[in-house]
Amino acid sequence: MTKGKTFSDLSKTNYLLILTTNKYIYRINTKCMTKITLNNKIKTQSHVLLITEKFNNEFELPEKVNDYIVNALNDKDKKTLSYNYIGKYISIIIVDKSKEETQLNEQLRRHGATVADAINAHKGKEIYIYNQTNAPHLSLAAAEGIALANYQFIKHKPSAAKQKNTLESIIIANTKIDTEKISELNIVVDATLKARDLVNEPVNVLNATALANSFKHMGKEAGFDVEIYNKKKIQQLKMGGILAVNAGSVDEPTFTIMEYKPKGAVNKHPYVLVGKGVVYDTGGLSLKPTPNSMDLMKCDMAGAAAVGCAMYAIAKAKLKVHVVALVPATDNRPGFNAFAPGDVITMMDGSTVEMLNSDAEGRMILADALHFAKKYKPELVIDMATLTGAAAAAIGTFGMVGMGTADKKQKEKIIQSGLNVHERIAEFPFWDDYSDLMKSDIADQKNIGGPAAGSITAGKFLQKFTDYPYYHLDIAGPAFLSAKDNYKTKGGTGYGVRFFFELMKNV
């Protein structure tokens, strides 16, 4: 908005988009809505988020309100202000445009989370985002933060009907944004929330077969192929790692292959995404102690959710990129014929593994998937997995641990995509020395290293099953939160969906 304009003037512009949040509905409204002036509309209906570089007296706010805001924002360090009047709500965020774009976007996403909470506390249904800066991406980032923060997982809690969030629509009042960007944001938010749903679903609802079927549905809806291998097929293919982990389970394992191959794809060979689909990890016979670590282990398919839901977003947004996603899935239990520490397993690639710890199961199922990926002669393979407590111990919940053999250019894109969506990667060394720690006396490898460098030794184990540029992402830290962190709600975060989507946009 140019200097000298008032909110009333702004209200005469067209309002673009309705971004719906927790309802998975998508609608665009480019028509001018009811005439809005701040004096009028805010008093009577609207909740507003104002993004600006400097708040000033140009607005037609009631004098008292205006004075209060100007006064409060006089403090140089005060960058945000929320004000309630007559049951309505205005939130102002002052941005410093000299900051980096990635930082600003994250600042807006986080502020969006605060706004979502406030609107819901007010039982509001919609929020208007006014952006006075010349950076339309800030509106998108704010909308993203609001939408992601508005997520709830209450389907198994009928008594929570009253706690249901009321916010339904986010209206970006900024005609400079094209509809494609809006639609893309709707898609990627939707996909992220879908991933959260999958992660939050317990294993008695979502076993390996149900997980595979949910991908099948997504494929139908978004337009990508999904093939599901059952136990018999997995046996025929001699996927020894998957079968070993599944041996103590009553439920069958699955191996899901998703493929999206649009006409005019920019890549010759596919990008392959591999996701760890351990629908529940008890540790197997090397049982985890409960309640400390087992309680959260329904989240052990968060990598699978990320790659499957990323496929959903990629296909729905019709990105021009050929992508394959592979998900080996099973639960890890100590029942029946469970594999015993000391067992030697022959993997799909013919190599052998001495399984010294049944709780190091993720790498066993991923190994077969990584071997399977060779047949695509892929441009690059990235796996995502809640693989090691060591990764979480090293960097906490604030990012993922990454390592691999991808070339320099690929790594740059990977790292930058992480920064763009604030799903950041802390890159660990991938020196060959670490492979020595996985040597076994009686097999080609063992499945655990020593006490040191646990997430790297896991990565080195996996590398043995690759013959292509490879990158490994360990999301054990950020996949599942025990407390809300801004727009990442408690429980499953949907981590990785936004990252993969961003990366596939940039390749």
What positions carry a catalytic annotation? 288, 363
According to DSSP, residue 387 is labeled -
* Residue 357 interacts with, from ligand BES, Zn ion, Mn ion, none (CB under 5-8 Å by kind): ligand BES
Q: Based on the shown chain and the rule CB under 6 A, indicate whether residue 423 belongs to the binding site for ligand BES.
A: no
Q: From the list ligand BES, Zn ion, Mn ion, none, which binds 448 (C-beta under 5 to 8 Å, kind-based)?
A: ligand BES
* Member of 126, 197, 281, 423 binding Mn ion (CB under 5 A): 281
Determine, following the binding rule CB under 6 A, whether residue 453 of this chain makes contact with ligand BES.
no
Beta bridge mates, 93: 51, 80
Residue 341 binds ligand BES, judged by CB under 6 A: no
Angstrom distance (rounded) from CA 447 to CA 460: 10
Q: Choose one: 96-104, 345-353, 354-362, 465-473; the region binding ligand BES (CB under 6 A).
A: 354-362
User: Per CB under 6 A, does 473 bind ligand BES?
Assistant: no
When asked if residue 300 is in the footprint of ligand BES (CB under 6 A), the reply is yes
Site for ligand BES in 237-296 (CB under 6 A): 281
The yes or no reply on residue 329 touching ligand BES (CB under 6 A) is no
Binding partner at 476 among ligand BES, Zn ion, Mn ion, none, C-beta below 5 to 8 Å by kind: ligand BES
Residue 255 to residue 244: CA distance in whole angstroms: 14
Closest C-alpha to 108, from 74, 125, 131: 131
Strand order of the β-sheet with 88-94 is: 16-20, 169-173, 126-131, 47-52, 88-94, 80-85
The per-type count for the chain, helices as H runs and strands as E runs, is 16, 20
- CA distances 48 to 71, 91, 118, 193, 488, Å, are 19, 6, 11, 24, 22
Q: Which token pair is 451?
A: 């006490």
Q: Which residues pair with 171 in a beta bridge?
A: 128
Least separation, in Å, of the C-beta of 362 and Mn ion?
6
Q: Between 4 and 289, whose beta carbon lies closer to ligand BES?
A: 289
- Could you tell me the smallest distance in angstroms from the CB atom of residue 124 to ligand BES? 36
Under DSSP, is residue 455 helix (H, G, I), strand (E, B) or coil? helix
Q: How far apart are CA 37 and CA 13, in angstroms?
A: 11
Residue number of the CB closest to ligand BES reads 389
Helix or strand or coil: residue 223? coil
Q: How far is the CB of 446 from ligand BES (least distance, A)?
A: 10
Judged by CB under 6 A, which stretch of 31-39, 138-146, 164-172, 360-368 contacts ligand BES?
360-368
Q: Please, what is the minimum distance in Å from the beta carbon of residue 435 to Mn ion?
A: 21
DSSP state of 299: G
Q: Alpha-carbon distance 478 to 423, whole Å?
A: 9
Interacting residues with Zn ion (CB under 5 A):
278, 281, 300, 362
Cα–Cα distance between 25 and 355 in angstroms, integer? 47
Cα(321)–Cα(480) distance, rounded to whole angstroms?
A: 29
**Of these partners, ligand BES, Mn ion, Zn ion, none, which one is at the site of residue 497 (CB under 5 to 8 Å by kind)?**
none
The one among 357, 416, 440, 486 contacting ligand BES by CB under 6 A: 357
Nearest to 86 by CA among 123, 38, 44: 44
In the bound complex, what is the minimum distance in angstroms from residue 370's beta carbon to ligand BES? 16
Q: Which residues bind to ligand BES, rule: CB under 6 A?
A: 281, 300, 357, 359-362, 386-390, 392, 448, 454, 476
